[in-house]
Amino acid sequence: MGYCNKDRSSGSYAQGTKATHNYSGTQKPPFMLQILIWVITGIIISIILANIKPYEIIAARYFRGITYSDLTNFLSSLWVIGGIFSLFMRFINFGFGTLLWAGIQILELIPSELLGHEKFLDKNIQKAGTNQYASSNNDSWEVKLAKKLRNSCSTEVLRFLIILGVCVYVVDFFLCLTVFPPVKGGGDVWKLLDIVQYQQFSKINWENIIRAITTVGAVQFLLKLRKIIVQIIRDLKD
């Protein structure tokens, strides 16, 4: 009898343990992750406000190179109207710089977002795997070329997104180097290439190089980090 009671007790304990393990209550994600999202959001906003400045400088250089009419020059020389006109031009520079920054950021984000989108990739993979023409030894070179061009049409969007992403990042980086001179004492990108060619790395202004890299990629990196943390929180809530 004692053994039977012991077995029953053990069975009850095992069932209780099993019930405990099978309990699937809704657990809240760690509070620190919620705080981290707000911190990252604040950092993103701060970096955006700081990153617009280089593009505002580029816009100001562009407008300074435009030859205005004599009336515009006359209005700029007036005491009160000149101040208002100068303030208006600063607003134009800021607005144009903001639009330039936003356009470049969007072109940088679109490829990375689409190339990380499961449904978009699934459709392009399925499209690339169907209606493919196989080459034959009996085909003329014109037909072989036509088949290759036709087969490449299914991956045209993916190819364009990859090329777009790389080109926009490169152009954005070189634009930032026009604001942040990459060479100590001043110097453009061509002088930087000469320094790299002759391995005179001590003349490189690494601080400005880091500034340019931060301006180009900081927002994208933080947005990706924020997206991952949000996904982790959603997974913990499910």
d(CA 60, CA 63): 5
By the 8 A CB rule, do 55 and 26 touch? no
Supply the pLDDT for residue 147: 83
Helix (H, G, I), strand (E, B) or coil at 155: coil
pLDDT in tens, the chain (238 residues): 444 454 444 444 444 444 444 445 556 777 888 898 899 999 999 888 888 888 988 888 888 776 565 666 676 677 777 778 778 878 888 899 999 999 998 998 888 888 888 888 888 888 877 767 777 888 888 888 888 888 888 788 888 988 998 999 999 999 898 889 899 887 778 888 888 888 888 889 999 999 999 889 888 899 889 889 888 888 887 6
By the 8 A CB rule, do 210 and 218 touch? no
With 0-12 / 13-18 / 19 or more C-beta atoms within 10 angstroms meaning exposed / middle / buried, residue 172 is: buried
Q: Return the amino acid letter for 63.
A: F
By the 8 A CB rule, do 15 and 197 touch? no
Supply the pLDDT for residue 68: 60
Tokens 């004599």, located at residue? 70
